[in-house]
Each structure stands twice: as C-alpha cells, then as structure tokens.
Amino acid sequence: MKSSDNLKKALELYGISDRKTLDLTEFIDQTEQALKGGLTCFQLREKKLPNFELVMLASLLKPLCDSYNCPLIINDNIAAAIMCDAGGVHIGQEDGDIKQIRSQLGDDKILGVSAQTVEQAKAAEAAGADYLGVGAVFATTTKEDAANVSLDELQAICDNVSIPVVAIGGITKDNLSMLAGSGIDGIAVSSAIFLAADPQIAAEELKNKIKEVII
C-alpha cells in the first residue's frame, strides 16, 4: 500500500467516520455500505471514546476494511493504531512530533498530517508524512474549529510537495467540481457519505464525480 501509485489510489475517496448516535451494529453496517459504494480509505475519528473501546471498535472494522482493500486510518491515537494493526494514523498540527510518530509507526504504516499552509505542508513532508489532509476548503459543520484554506492556497500546497494531497472540509457532490485543476489526489468527506440517506449511493456518486477532478 505504501508505494506511491497504490497510496494515491487509496486516497481518492477518503471517508471519515461520523458515528453520532448510531449503535455499533448500525455503524458497522453504515461503514460497509460506504465501502460497497467505493470508499478507498476510511478514518476512524472517535476522539471521545476511551482507548480500550477505540481499540475494540477498530479491531472490528479492520477485517471489514481489509476485505475491501481499504486502509483503516486511526485519528490521532498512535497506540490504538499499533494495537489493532491499523493501516496508519492521521494527526493534526498539534498532535505531536511528526518524526517521532513516524518512528513509532514504522515505515510500513501510512502517516497523514493535516496542513493549512505551504510551510506546514513542506515541513510535514520533510518530517516523514505520507500524505496531507488540507482544509477546510469549504465551510463544514463536522469540525467546527477547522480553519479555512483558500483554493489558491490548496493549489500552492499541491505545487510545493511531492506527496499526495487530500482536500477536506464541506465537500459535496455539488461543489466538488470547484476543486478541478487544484492538483489534489483525493477528497476526504464525512457528512456527504455518513449522513446521507444511503451511504452506498452517496459514495458511488462521489467516486464517479472525483474522476472529473483528479488528473
């Protein structure tokens, strides 16, 4: 998965969990529907779960994601990712030293880092990030503290790094075309899939649309 071409392919349609009030069975079923629809990467973002519950949930999702050849990424929690043998970890700018986290994970795991500026993006790449999550490119209600990133800044980041860039924040099938020409390698979405009436159809529609945006 860590080869450049394989990683780019895996980042095309990147889903981020939005569990809300779903029980465990509903959540896993929803995730599988999204996978059936073409999700290529899945991030488990459960900041409020105790560590042992996060590991339990990730351990249930790991074989499901594996069956669809979809990497399971854990948000922030490096220990949980290692314990459940997840595909990797995604961290923010304030979540620790990137070089140290890379050392903990090893070279075979995926390390994603959030970036909002060219300077942050170049520093993350130099420190060992495998891909960048850049946003919020549009207004979002999923992550209320997300900083806005202009489309010009997004393009500048893509132009200044050699690792894949994934746009995130408020992306829907209706505004996705606005990202054409930016140089992104994929999109990360939460509400657009996991709050949809039918996650499978929502994923299918986004997967088809992204082909018009990624060159």
Active site residues: 45, 114, 143
Q: How far apart are CA 215 and CA 213, in angstroms?
A: 6
Q: How far apart are CA 11 and CA 73, in angstroms?
A: 11
Overall residue count recorded for the chain in this entry: 215
- For 6, residues 6+ apart whose C-beta sits below 8 A from its C-beta are none
Whole-Å CA distances, 147 to 60, 122, 135, 136, 141: 32, 18, 7, 6, 12
Burial (CB count <10 Å: 0-12, 13-18, 19+), residue 94: exposed
Q: Which helix (H) or strand (E) holds 127?
A: helix 118-127
